[in-house]
Amino acid sequence: MVDPIGLDLRGIPCPLNAVRCQLAFEKLAVGEGLRVHLDCGEPLESVANQFLDAGQQVDVEANSGQEAIILITRLSP
């Protein structure tokens, strides 16, 4: 796998963070990943669920309780 693209969405409100994440994700090929920095709570939950519901892989790499880093891997086109 190629090194994931990084996206810092800390401080970006919902649903704008989900939209920005989707736009970056659309540029990925199958097998590539997007590493996203998010605020915990609703931003983390909404973005993670958006991609889980779409059948993509979402892994939480770090979660401090205030900020989290997730890796979203494209499993399908």
CATH code of residue 35: 3.30.110.40
Query: So what's the pLDDT on residue 5?
Result: 87
Q: How many domains are contained in the chain?
A: 1
- Domain of residue 16: give its range: 5-73
Q: Which residues of the chain have pLDDT under 70?
A: 1-2
In tens, the pLDDT along 37-48 reads 999 999 999 999
What single string gives the DSSP state of each residue in 13-72? PTTHHHHHHHHHHTTPPTT-EEEEEEETTHHHHHHHHHHHHTT-EEEEEEE-SSEEEEEE
